[in-house]
Structure 1
Amino acid sequence: MSDINESEETIGAEDPQNPAAKDPSDWVTGDEPMTAPQQSYLDTLAREAGEELPADLTKAQASEHIERLQQKSGRGAS
């Protein structure tokens, strides 16, 4: 049983109204260069997977690779 009142906002649940839940290809800033945290995490995931990726990925591309590599490695499993 949850202690959270239905009227309270939560994080961690699927929420189609949450802008962060958008498909990366729909992001307004998706064509900007990936962020430093994305690059760092993607570097770790790619090394663990034995993959090499280009260093000039966009935010959207980096997000898609992160999601794919998390699934491959089991890191993204909840």
Structure 2
Amino acid sequence: MARCEVCGNDYDMAFFVETQDGARHVFDSFSCAIHRMAPICEHCRVRVIGHGVEAGGQWYCGAHCAREAGKVGLVDRV
């Protein structure tokens, strides 16, 4: 069993996520994984759980929010 790093639940079906920098995270649900790992849109403040767009190290849920924040040349991914 492994303990979720977000909620602390000790769960026999926990899963691990390794990031590109080698960090390893353990979660008991997708909800906890999203809570910990999903970036937050710089404009509307929702969690980006889809593709999103990135500009200058900042994440946006979509090109619309990026444009609203003054970013240019971004399009939504298909």
Compare the two structures and name the one with the higher strand fraction: 2
Q: TM-score, normalised by structure 1?
A: 0.24
Instruction: Name which structure has the greater RCO, CA cutoff 8 Å, separation 6+.
Output: 1
Compare the two structures and name the one with the higher helix fraction: 1
